[in-house]
Amino acid sequence: MNPLVTVYITCYNYGEYVEKAIQSVLNQTYQNFELIVIDDGSSDNSREVIKAHEQNSRIQIILQQNKGLNATNNVAIKNAKGKYIIRLDADDYFVPEALGVMTSILESDPNLGLVFPDYYYVDIEGNKTGSHRRHFFDDEVTLYDQPAHGACTMVRLEYLRELDGYDESFSCQDGFDLWIKFIKFHKVTNINRPLFSYRQHNRNLSTNQNNILETRRKMKRKFSEKHLNPPDTLGIIPVRNRMYNGQSWPLFEYQGKNVLDHRIESCLNSNNINHLIVTSADQEILSYLNYNYKDEIRLTILKRSKELASYDTKIDETIRFALKNFNKTPDAIAVVSIEYPFVNSNLIDEALDTLMIFDSESLISVKSSKGPYYRHNGRTLKAILDQDKYTSHEREALYQSVGGIMVSTVKAFSKNNSLIGERVSHLLVNHENSFGVLNEFQFELFKLLVATKRNPEKSENPTLRSVDF
């Protein structure tokens, strides 16, 4: 008789941790499982530790040359005999009740495809340093743009095989590809209880933010091209002629073009923007545009009033002005700022892909703010949302808008009379993409950075290696 659950452990040079991971599976209170341990070409003592269990009939050991995580995940799927499957990374470990709790949830609902728990943070020595608590999916979550943890998520194996498993073209994988597949085709939920310990150290995949974000961008693009119909999108670039140290910011030149040219190029190179409007109240900017872009059929130049360009007027007024002067009604709007010079066409595409994948009304680009942040209450400084406590609650996470990209469906904009609707998803960007030039200090810093930086439009994932903001 086949086991109900297949647990598999993937190991690459985690000989110091893998025994604890194995024992955490063997010591489960729920015992109707099989365990597959896969060593992915380790060069440390991992294989010796793993092979010490080769006499245990409940454990299948697979030793292979290094294939990478996604290929290894598919090896486990191919060999699995269970109804459900769950991966445990070799440096993490379950609490004793983990399999029993997750299995009971899946068994109680035949329509449920995936379930995932909260977790503890532990250090290299296994000491608890905190815990991570997710939203209550059953009564709080309707927007699924915050994925499950890549490991320790239990999945109905039949559904996973129907979705062709893991995409091996992505070398960096944190479970995001699996997540966006499942939320489109199957029901998902979580368990608000920590059921595993996530070990934090400098070898964690999740610490490499740039690789994670770049891989997610490619996953979204591939998913959108395969499953979704792209909206007819109008890009809008509002331009004020800000002056920094006597120099015009829109017309400041670097790498052979000025700031405005770079931004127009990024929009026209986007796969998702069908037409572009550039609007300004400044005559110097308008003259430059009319001279240099008069033959660009995908670009419309609009003069807006000084009232629309004033700092106390909301961007919504400029959007209404642009839509009124456009010859058709698009499906979506993308407002792209010139104040964030490292936003490129790939990021613009990702913003619109994200809007469609998560079926949201609006989207803003953000960066995660770690905090803790404090508010003065007249008597003392008090941590906002109790961010200085041991437990990290997802509902208490803070995001800072970085303003580079804002998108919305036209339907939602018309309904809400605002670019920011009721159902707003987010695009998490890295330090570089979140860098804005909003004052003279940032302008001077920008000039220093671009002196050694390659062209952002020529790179899929441009990175400022010399400065960490």
Displacement of CA 82 from its chain's centroid (Å): 31
Q: Above 50 in pLDDT, residue 303?
A: yes
Q: Above 50 in pLDDT, residue 226?
A: yes
d(CA 218, CA 240): 33
Give the per-residue pLDDT at 202. Answer: 72
d(CA 116, CA 191): 6
| 68 phi, psi to nearest 5 deg | 95, 165
Which 3 state secondary structure label does DSSP give 207?
helix
Q: Above 80 in pLDDT, residue 393?
A: no
Q: Above 70 in pLDDT, residue 237?
A: yes
Provide the mean pLDDT of the chain.
90
Q: Above 70 in pLDDT, residue 465?
A: no
Sign, CA dihedral 154-172-94-188, equals negative
Tokens at 30, concatenated: 């729920």
DSSP secondary structure code for residue 303 in this structure: E
The structural domains of the chain, ordered by start, are 5-207 (3.90.550.10), 231-458 (3.90.550.10)
| Mean pLDDT within 116-130 | 93
| Mean pLDDT within 303-332 | 93
The model's confidence at residue 171, banded by pLDDT at 50, 70 and 90, is confident
Q: Which residues pair with 84 in a beta bridge?
A: 5, 156
Residues above pLDDT 90, as percent of the chain: 74
| 408 phi, psi to nearest 5 deg | -160, 150
With contact defined as beta carbons under 8 Å apart, do 240 and 280 qualify? yes
Give the per-residue pLDDT at 369. Answer: 76
Q: pLDDT tens-digit profile of 238-268?
A: 999 999 999 999 999 999 999 999 999 999 9
